């Protein structure tokens, strides 16, 4: 009984978040920072970092981001996640503690 209580207690301290990437190509890395490329043209991209700072950068200066690194960054980086969500680059589904437990009980 104690073991089950500990697992439930651990679950209650979490907010469950599911992130779906709608456009992975929009996420790029520049100088070891993951950001978003918006409004690209043939000369440059417009790079927005987690703080919303805007830089005009040549295409050759950025690289693509692996999905697992991107997911980790989106889970940890609230500002980048909100910016990406605002531009419909990701979809976010989150459950609060009670909703998640109700969901689990109804689907188990």
Q: What is the pTM of this model?
A: 0.71
Q: What is the pLDDT of residue 42?
A: 84
Tell me how far apart the alpha carbons of residues 73 and 15 are, in angstroms, rounded to a whole number.
17
Tell me how far apart the alpha carbons of residues 52 and 55 are, in angstroms, rounded to a whole number.
10
Residues forming a β-bridge with 27? 36
Q: What is the DSSP letter of 108?
A: -
Q: pLDDT tens across 74-95, in order? A: 988 888 998 999 999 999 887 7
Q: What is the 3-state secondary structure (H, E, C) of 38-105?
A: ECCCCCCEEEECCCCCEEEECHHHCEECCHHHHHHHHHHCHHHHHHHHHCCCEEEEEECHHHHHHHHH
């Amino acid at each position: 009984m104690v073991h089950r209580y500990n697992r439930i207690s651990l679950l209650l301290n979490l907010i469950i978040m599911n992130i779906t990437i709608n456009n992975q190509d929009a996420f790029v890395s520049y100088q070891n920072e993951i950001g978003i490329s918006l409004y690209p043209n043939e000369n440059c991209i417009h790079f927005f970092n987690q703080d919303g700072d805007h830089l005009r950068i040549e295409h050759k200066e950025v690289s693509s981001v692996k999905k697992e690194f991107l997911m980790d960054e989106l889970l940890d980086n609230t500002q980048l996640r909100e910016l990406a969500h605002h531009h419909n680059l990701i979809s976010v589904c989150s459950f609060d503690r009670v909703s998640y437990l109700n969901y689990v009980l109804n689907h188990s």
